[in-house]
Structure formats: structure tokens, C-alpha cells
């Protein structure tokens, strides 16, 4: 590939310019096709999505691709077959209903609930490349009503018991599944993020400080589920919110397997779950809690990974120790244990047992002195080196709220641009107590703010600038792929940055190059490579949200629909080289 003399040897493609067009733009020599969109049937006997919105029903949606695809993972099956597990985070009522959500009915709520969760897709290698197989044996929908087992220390805890489930062992559904992870034993991890927005009540209920810390209140986020489905009414089922905010493990190869909520990984607004096997064989999972001033967590399993007997790994995520990160000003950092009895997490201090700590992970993290972060989104571990990256997407409250002082990895007040923090564990061991951190990049706008911290770090230029890094992931060669969920107004602080986009960075040199730009009002989120690194799946989420003018992906004034896209090179080469 042709490279500028100063260019990184890892980055072999020509940068694409910022764009405000209603299309997905990829570099010269690349091609993009649509894999699947919201409402497309997952089974041959299911009706297609209708652009006449009132035609679409809950019964169909339960067997169609869900809405707002987000994180995804690819599981190779054989040379010709793979499984793509995809999160369906939420819905946009303004795009889903002719009444735009202003006149919700029970049937509408049922339809919306069916559009949430996870879609599992069988892919086959076809003449044109990897495509969805509507007759594939792994195809499955998991939605907001699918039964799932509650496992780990909080299973059966009194705060998880409801009228429908007096034992606190089986929850219904998963929703607001943001990002994801995968395990070396072949399972998918889907992470529950803004679950609070689905609960509410019209009763005159006093909201506890425990609920308030998680953003749970009488008013929901506009979904109206509580008005038609009693388990979302806080006055009717006060424990239902405790059954969400978890990481859920799914076996994508067995469409009949119950998903499992792994409570040992803590309850918060989970972003992704980046799993790595430590040198001693224990499983380490890095976890972000995406809210202004919340924290970064790490789970370390008690038992070790068994590479020769995958069945022995099934419950590794049930037993272990949860930690939360403290970043010091001098570039050092440490993991603070959230084990009952450690760091003052005792009954006298309000934490009755380990389950109580996990259910109230945020309060425990504050109690032990965790660092408040600028909205931790995805974490990614370098494939060959003990380097960990986490996107801190933005934080308008930094330096404004007393609990969120400027400093350390959160160096800018009223941070509209975001940054990526990197840490290296002591001795390269992911189970180590300590680490060293630095900022890999700070996004910014050098055209507007040259010479100030809001210009961004030195690797941000007029040609590659963006805001609000969110999805990140490595390919096998160690390229860091960065996706944005930012302000796409192309005005004010964001002028020149255009639509949301995906960039590629060399983690050694720090060079950042824009790889693609998305359509109008979308977020770019979710990435997965085939093992040969020649096909890249990328998610386009909510094009045309809030009435923005988009008809992506089909054009011709059709309803804009979240979609998974397939990117490859016209010469069949490795992506990014």
C-alpha cells in the first residue's frame, strides 16, 4: 500500500474527508454492502419490514432483526459459516410509530419490547462475501421478555425477588444492550446500559437514594412501558430494576439455551465487557460504567481458564473479585477491591454482604474512593501487548459538579470532545494491583482552539478531528479502531467534524486516520472482523433520529433504519493495510 513517508506502517488506506452526506463513505479501494437492517426477517416465514409503519407488529418483530444495533461479536463455526451476535439497544419512537410515540398503546409497547435485546445471525460465505442466511440454524431473537437465569452472588437475593419470580432466579429479558464482549469458550457477553429509563410510575412514590444513584425515578425516558406492563411500574414491582444493569452471557450456538445474568460482574450502566486471559490463566474482564462521573471496573475470576475443556469454563464468570479503578495525578493507578470486608465494605458501613455490594456497585465504588471519569465507554485490550484503552466519551459536568474535579485522566472542564485513556498493568499482568496510565489521545478542534487543551492532543489535526469516541476494538495486527457517538451538527465546537465516523489508530505512533463516515444523524457503533481480517462488519445506529433527514440505507424516502454493514476491499485484501 502507498504510504506517506511519515505514515504509520500499520495504516495503509487513504483517509476519507469529514462528511455530512446521507451515506456511508469508505476509502478508495473498499466496498460496502448492507448485511441486515431493523425489521428484516430472521426466518423465512416472517413478513418483511413495512415502510407503512402501522403494518409492523410485535409478533413479526419478535422474529425480525431488532432495532438500534450496537455492539456485536463474530463466532466462526467452519470455513463457510459464522455466527454474528448483535445487540439491539433501544428504539426511536419517532421512527417506529406514525404517532411518534405520542399515543402509545399496549400493542405499541409490546412491539417496542420485541425490538430490544439481541439478534443472533447465521452468516455464510457466499459468492459476494459473507451474508446473512435466513435459513441458518443459529438464527435467534432474544428480547425484553425472554426468560434468563440470574446467576452468581446476587442470585436469589431479596432485592431481586418479584411477584412473578419469588425466588429471584429468573428474569424476563434484557434491554438497552449497549456494547458487548466474547469469551474464549465461545459465548457472547451483552451488557445492559441505560436500564433505568424503562421504569417509572404515576403513583406518588418516594424515590430512594439507592434508585436515584442509578437514575431511576418516577419519570421514565419516554418509553411508556410502565403504563402498560406492570413490572416496569415502580409502585407495583419495586425490585424489578435490580434485575437489570448486568452483563448477560449467551451461548450463540444453542438457540434453546437460557441466557445467564452474571451478577459477579456488578450492576451498573454497563458499556462493554473486554475479556482477557491473564498469564496465570485467570479471566480478567474490564468494564466501563457510562455515566458522567462514574467508574471503570475490573473483574478477576477465582478459577482459571481451561483451554482443553470448554465446558469447564461455563461458570467462570460466577466466582471472582470485582475491583474499581483509582487514577492518581502522577500517572500511577490502582485497583480497589469491592470484596465484602475489604476497604471498609462492611455491614456497619451499609454493605451487608457481597450480593449487596454487587447490586449497589456504584455506591461501593464511591465508598472506596474510585476516580470519577468522563463517561467510560468501551475498553479494548491490545492483542499482543499488555495495554488497555478506554474511551471517555465526553462530560459536560467535569469541573462543574463538585464530585468531578478537573485532573488526572479527566483534564478538561466542560469536556465536549472526549479522550482515550491507556493503562499498562504492572509487569504486564492484568491481575496486578497497580498500573501506569497516560492519555492516548484527546479529541478536540484544532481549527477553533489552537494552542489550548480544546484543540486536542498533538495527534489530532484538521484532517482527522472528531468528537466523542465510543466504540473501540483491535484487529489482529494491533490497529485500534475508533467509532464515534458525538455531536453531528457540524456547527459551533463541532464545525468541520461532520457526521459520526470510524477512525483507525496506530497505538505505537499515535497516528489517527479517518476510515469511514456515516449517514445523517447516525452513531457508528459495533465492529467485528472475520478471522482472515478481510471482512469488517460495522454498525450504523439510528440514522435519521429526531427527524433528521435520512433514508439510509435504502434511500428513496424510505424509513431510515439501523443497519449492519459489510466492508471489504475490492482486491480482497486485509482491512486497514
- Site for ligand FEO, rule CB under 6 A: 89, 178, 193, 271, 290, 377
C-alpha 456, offset from chain centre: 24
Q: Which is nearer to ligand FEO, 16 or 247 (CB)?
A: 247
Q: Which is nearer to ligand FEO, 290 or 374 (CB)?
A: 290
Q: Which is nearer to ligand FEO, 123 or 325 (CB)?
A: 325
Residue keyed to cell 495504516: 11
Full DSSP string of 215-284: T--SS-SS--HHHH-GGGBTTT-TTGGGG-S-EEEE-TT-TTSPPEEEGGG--S-EEEEEEEE-TTSEEE
Based on the number of CB atoms within 10 Å of its own CB, is 299 exposed (0-12), middle (13-18) or buried (19 or more)?
Answer: buried
* Neighbouring-strand partners of residue 141: 119
Q: Which is nearer to ligand FEO, 89 or 108 (CB)?
A: 89
- Judged by CB under 5 A, how many residues of this single chain contact Ca ion? 6
Minimal distance, residue 468 CB to ligand FEO, in Å: 10
46's contact among Ca ion, ligand FEO, none, with CB below 5 to 8 A by partner kind, is none
Measured CA to CA in angstroms, residue 530 lies from 129, 137, 315, 377, 480 at distances of: 11, 19, 27, 24, 16
Whole-angstrom Cα distance, residue 350 to residue 345?
A: 8
Measured CA to CA in angstroms, residue 257 lies from 180, 336, 576 at distances of: 18, 35, 36
Binding of Ca ion by 108 (CB under 5 A): no
Whole-angstrom Cα distance, residue 147 to residue 36?
A: 25
Region from 318-326, 388-396, 433-441, 445-453 binding Ca ion, contact rule CB under 5 A: 388-396
Q: Which is nearer to Ca ion, 431 or 484 (CB)?
A: 484
Region from 98-106, 230-238, 348-356, 482-490 binding Ca ion, contact rule CB under 5 A: 482-490
523's contact among Ca ion, ligand FEO, none, with CB below 5 to 8 A by partner kind, is Ca ion
264's contact among Ca ion, ligand FEO, none, with CB below 5 to 8 A by partner kind, is none
Q: Which is nearer to ligand FEO, 379 or 512 (CB)?
A: 379
Among 132, 113, 135, smallest CA distance to 57 is for: 113
Binding of Ca ion by 470 (CB under 5 A): yes
Minimal distance, residue 179 CB to ligand FEO, in Å: 7
Based on the number of CB atoms within 10 Å of its own CB, is 280 exposed (0-12), middle (13-18) or buried (19 or more)?
Answer: exposed
Minimal distance, residue 167 CB to ligand FEO, in Å: 31
Binding of Ca ion by 485 (CB under 5 A): yes
Q: Which is nearer to Ca ion, 294 or 470 (CB)?
A: 470
Site string for Ca ion, 537-556 (x = CB under 5 A): ----x---------------
372's contact among Ca ion, ligand FEO, none, with CB below 5 to 8 A by partner kind, is none
Residue keyed to cell 403504563: 227
In the numeric block, which cell numbers belong to residue 243? Answer: 434485575
Q: Which is nearer to ligand FEO, 108 or 290 (CB)?
A: 290
Q: Which is nearer to ligand FEO, 13 or 175 (CB)?
A: 175
The percent of the chain in helix, strand and coil, each rounded to the nearest 5, is: 15, 35, 50
Minimal distance, residue 287 CB to ligand FEO, in Å: 12
Minimal distance, residue 132 CB to ligand FEO, in Å: 24
Name the residue number minimizing CB distance to Ca ion: 485
Strands 129-132 and 81-88: unpaired
Contact 114, 65 (CB under 8 A): no
Binding of Ca ion by 374 (CB under 5 A): no
Q: Within a 10 A sphere around the Cβ of 450, how many other Cβ atoms?
A: 11
Q: For 309-340, b where at least 16 C-beta lie within 10 A, e where not — what string? A: eeeebebbbbebbbbbbbbeeeeebebbbbeb
Minimal distance, residue 463 CB to ligand FEO, in Å: 27
Whole-angstrom Cα distance, residue 171 to residue 173?
A: 6
193's contact among Ca ion, ligand FEO, none, with CB below 5 to 8 A by partner kind, is ligand FEO
Binding of Ca ion by 192 (CB under 5 A): no
Among 18, 16, 27, smallest CA distance to 498 is for: 18
Interface residue with Ca ion, options 523, 536, 543, 566 (CB under 5 A)? 523
Minimal distance, residue 472 CB to Ca ion, in Å: 10
Q: Which is nearer to Ca ion, 222 or 344 (CB)?
A: 222
Minimal distance, residue 180 CB to ligand FEO, in Å: 11
Non-local CB neighbours of 492 within 8 Å, separated by 6+ positions = none
Applying CB under 5 A, the residues found at the interface with Ca ion are 377, 393, 470, 485, 523, 541
Amino acid at each position: 500500500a502507498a504510504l506517506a513517508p511519515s505514515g504509520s506502517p500499520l495504516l495503509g488506506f487513504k483517509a476519507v474527508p469529514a462528511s455530512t452526506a446521507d451515506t456511508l463513505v469508505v476509502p478508495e479501494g473498499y466496498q460496502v454492502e448492507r448485511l441486515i437492517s431493523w425489521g428484516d426477517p430472521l426466518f423465512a416465514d416472517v413478513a418483511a419490514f413495512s415502510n407503512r409503519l402501522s403494518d409492523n407488529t410485535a409478533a413479526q418483530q419478535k422474529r425480525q432483526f431488532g432495532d438500534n444495533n450496537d455492539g456485536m461479536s463474530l463466532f466462526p463455526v467452519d470455513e463457510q459459516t459464522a455466527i454474528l451476535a448483535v445487540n439491539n439497544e433501544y428504539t426511536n419512537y419517532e421512527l417506529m410509530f406514525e404517532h411518534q410515540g405520542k399515543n402509545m398503546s399496549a400493542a405499541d409497547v409490546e412491539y417496542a419490547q420485541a425490538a430490544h435485546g439481541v439478534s443472533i445471525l447465521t452468516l455464510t460465505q457466499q459468492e459476494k462475501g459473507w451474508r446473512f442466511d435466513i435459513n441458518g440454524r443459529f438464527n435467534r431473537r432474544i428480547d425484553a421478555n425472554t426468560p434468563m437465569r440470574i446467576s452468581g452472588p446476587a442470585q436469589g437475593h431479596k432485592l431481586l425477588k418479584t411477584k412473578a419470580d419469588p425466588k429471584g432466579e429468573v428474569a424476563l429479558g434484557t434491554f438497552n444492550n449497549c456494547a458487548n464482549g466474547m469469551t474464549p469458550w465461545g459465548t457472547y457477553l451483552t451488557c445492559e446500559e441505560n436500564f433505568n429509563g424503562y421504569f417509572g410510575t404515576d403513583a406518588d412514590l418516594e424515590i430512594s437514594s439507592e434508585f436515584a444513584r442509578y437514575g431511576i425515578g418516577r419519570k421514565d425516558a419516554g418509553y411508556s412501558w410502565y403504563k402498560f406492563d406492570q413490572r416496569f411500574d415502580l409502585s407495583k414491582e419495586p425490585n424489578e430494576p435490580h434485575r437489570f444493569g448486568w452483563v448477560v452471557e449467551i451461548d450463540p450456538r444453542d438457540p434453546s439455551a437460557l441466557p445467564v445474568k452474571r451478577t459477579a460482574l456488578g450492576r451498573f450502566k454497563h458499556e462493554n465487557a473486554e475479556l482477557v486471559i491473564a498469564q496465570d490463566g485467570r479471566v480478567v474482564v474490564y468494564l466501563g460504567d457510562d455515566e458522567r462521573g462514574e467508574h471503570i471496573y475490573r473483574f478477576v475470576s477465582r478459577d482459571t481458564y481451561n483451554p482443553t475443556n470448554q465446558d469447564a469454563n461455563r461458570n467462570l464468570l460466577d466466582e471472582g473479585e470485582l475491583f474499581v479503578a483509582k487514577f492518581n495525578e502522577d500517572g500511577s493507578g490502582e485497583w480497589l477491591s469491592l470484596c465484602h470486608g475489604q476497604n471498609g465494605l462492611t455491614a456497619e458501613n451499609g454493605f451487608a454482604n457481597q450480593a449487596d455490594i454487587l447490586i449497589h456497585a456504584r455506591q461501593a465504588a464511591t465508598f472506596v474512593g474510585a476516580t470519577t471519569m468522563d463517561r467510560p465507554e468501551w475498553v479494548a485490550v491490545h492483542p499482543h501487548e499488555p495495554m488497555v484503552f478506554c474511551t471517555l466519551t465526553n462530560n459536560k459536568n467535569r469541573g462543574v459538579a463538585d464530585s468531578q474535579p478537573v485532573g488526572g485522566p479527566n483534564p478538561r472542564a466542560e469536556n465536549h470532545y472526549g479522550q482515550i485513556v491507556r493503562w499498562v498493568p504492572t509487569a504486564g499482568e492484568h491481575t496486578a494491583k497497580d498500573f501506569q496510565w497516560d492519555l492516548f489521545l484527546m479529541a478536540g478542534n484544532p481549527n477553533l482552539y489552537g494552542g489550548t487543551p480544546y484543540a486536542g492532543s498533538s495527534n489530532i489535526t484538521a484532517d482527522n478531528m472528531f468528537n466523542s469516541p465510543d466504540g473501540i476494538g483491535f484487529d489482529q495486527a494491533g490497529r485500534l479502531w475508533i467509532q464515534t457517538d458525538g455531536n453531528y451538527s457540524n456547527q459551533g465546537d463541532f464545525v468541520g467534524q461532520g457526521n459520526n465516523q470510524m477512525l483507525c489508530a496506530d497505538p505505537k505512533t499515535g497516528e489517527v486516520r479517518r476510515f469511514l463516515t456515516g449517514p445523517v444523524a447516525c452513531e457508528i457503533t459495533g465492529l467485528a472482523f472475520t478471522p482472515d481480517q478481510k471482512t469488517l462488519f460495522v454498525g450504523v445506529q439510528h440514522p435519521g433520529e429526531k427527524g433528521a433527514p435520512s433514508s439510509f440505507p435504502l434511500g428513496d424516502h424510505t424509513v431510515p433504519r439501523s443497519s449492519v454493514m459489510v466492508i471489504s476491499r475490492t482486491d480482497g485484501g486485509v482491512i486497514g493495510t
